[in-house]
Amino acid sequence: MKAFQVDQFVEGLHTNDSGKKFWVLLDPDREEPEQLKYAAEVSVDEGADTLLVGSSYYERNDFDESVKAVQEGAGGKVPVLLFPGNHQQLSEFADALLFLSLLSGRNPQYLIGEHILAAPKLRRMDLPAIPTGYYLVDGGRVTSVQSVTGTTPLPRKKIELIASHALAGQYLGMKLVYLEAGSGAKLTVPLDAIALTQKTIDVPLIVGGGIRTPEAAHAAAKAGADIVVIGNHLEKSRDPGRVREMAVAVHSAAREPVAKLV
Ligand code: 1GP
C-alpha cells in the first residue's frame, strides 16, 4: 500500500449518509499470526473497508508478526490500522494507528501518559497517527477496557453528556470520534446517543462494541455511525458468509435516509 495520507483517509470517512464503512477488529492476543492472516483475508474478501489490530489486554511478544500476518492477509487492498491498548502495541508494519485518547475517563495515563511513551517510537517508525477521541459508553457489563484503564464509562442514558464529550474532543483536535461499548459488551451504544453525537460533531463517527447481528450493525449505521466496527462476533467462526452479511448490513444503511431519532 502506498504511503498513508491521514487527511485524505479521514476525508474519505465523511459519509454524509452514503458510503458507510465496515471495519473489522482483529485481536492479536486471541489469535495466532496464521489465524490472523486468514481472518484478514476473509474480512477483506467479504467487504471490510479497513482492518484494526489491537487488544485492550495483550500479553504475547510477537506483535510485529501479528501485524505482518494481517498485512499479508489484507494483500494491500485495505488499510491496516493499529488500535492499541497501550504504547507497547506499535508496529512499523501497520499503515497508521488510531492515536486514542480515552476522553470519557479521567485517568491521565490514558489521556496523555501512554501517548508520551509512544510518541518517540512513532517518530522512529514513521508511523502516521490519527488523533482519535475514544469514549467508553456503559455496555451493560464490565469490559476489559474499563478494568484495564480503571475508568468509568459514560452512562448510556446521558446522551447529551456523551455528545458534549465528543464535541470537546473535536475542539481539542481529534480527527475521529469513537463511541465504544467495549469488546463483548452486553448492550451496544444506544442509537439515540449515536444520532445525537453524529448531529453534534463534524468529524467522522466510529461505533463499536457488542454488535452481534446484521440488524444491530445496520441500525448503528442508520442512526449516524459513519463506521461500524465488529470484532468478537466474527472471531468465533470466521464464517465468510457472516462477514458478508455484516458488510452488506452496514453498506446498505448508506442508501437510506438517516433516521431522525432525536
Ligand atoms: C471493541 O469496538 C470494538 O473495541 C469491537 O467490539 O469485539 O464486541 O465487536 P466487539
pLDDT tens digits, residue range 73-126? Answer: 999 999 999 999 999 999 999 999 999 999 999 999 999 999 999 999 999 999
Cα–Cα dist 212/233, whole Å: 5
Higher pLDDT, 68 or 59: 68
Q: Mean pLDDT, to the nearest integer, of 235-260?
A: 86
Pocket test for ligand 1, best of 43, 55, 230, 235 (most atoms within 8 A of CB): 230
Q: Is 137 a pocket residue for ligand 1 (Cβ < 6 Å)?
A: no
Q: Verify whether ligand 1 is closer than 6 Å to residue 84 (CB atom).
A: no
Quick: pLDDT tens for 30-54: 999 999 999 999 999 999 999 999 9
Return the higher-pLDDT residue of 236 and 201.
Answer: 201
Please tell me the predicted confidence (pLDDT) of residue 236: 86
- State the DSSP string of 159-173: HHHHHHHHHHHHHTT
Residue 258 has pLDDT above 60, yes or no: no
Instruction: Return the biggest CA–CA distance within the chain.
Output: 47
Closest by CA to 180, choosing from 200, 194, 196, is: 194
Cα 122 to middle of ligand 1, angstroms = 25
For the record, the C-alpha cell of 241 comes out as 458468509
**Ligand 1 contact, 85 CB (< 6 A):** no
* pTM for this model (two decimals): 0.96
pLDDT value at residue 95: 98
Give 171: exposed, middle or buried? Use CB within 10 Å, 0-12, 13-18, 19+: exposed
Task: Name the residue at shortest CA distance from atom 1 of ligand 1.
Answer: 183
Per-residue DSSP letter, 28:
T
Residue to mutate, 23, 26, 148, 180, ligand 1, most ligand atoms under 8 Å from C-beta: 180
C-alpha pair distances (Å), 127 with each of 132, 183, 226: 15, 25, 24
Whether residue 211 has its Cβ less than 6 Å from ligand 1: yes
Quote the pLDDT of residue 17: 66
List alpha helices for the chain, DSSP H. Answer: 6-11, 33-45, 63-74, 108, 114-125, 144-149, 159-171, 191-200, 214-223, 232-235, 240-253
Which helix (H) or strand (E) is 177 found in, with range?
Answer: strand 176-180
d(CA 60, CA 107): 25
Distance CA 65, CA 71 (A): 10
pLDDT single digits (tens) 135-192: 999 999 999 999 999 999 999 999 999 999 999 999 999 999 999 999 999 999 999 9
Cell numbers found for residue 232: 468478537
Quick one: pLDDT at residue 18?
A: 74
Residue 25 CB less than 6 A away from ligand 1: yes
For residue 93, which of 132, 130, 126 has the smallest C-alpha distance? 126
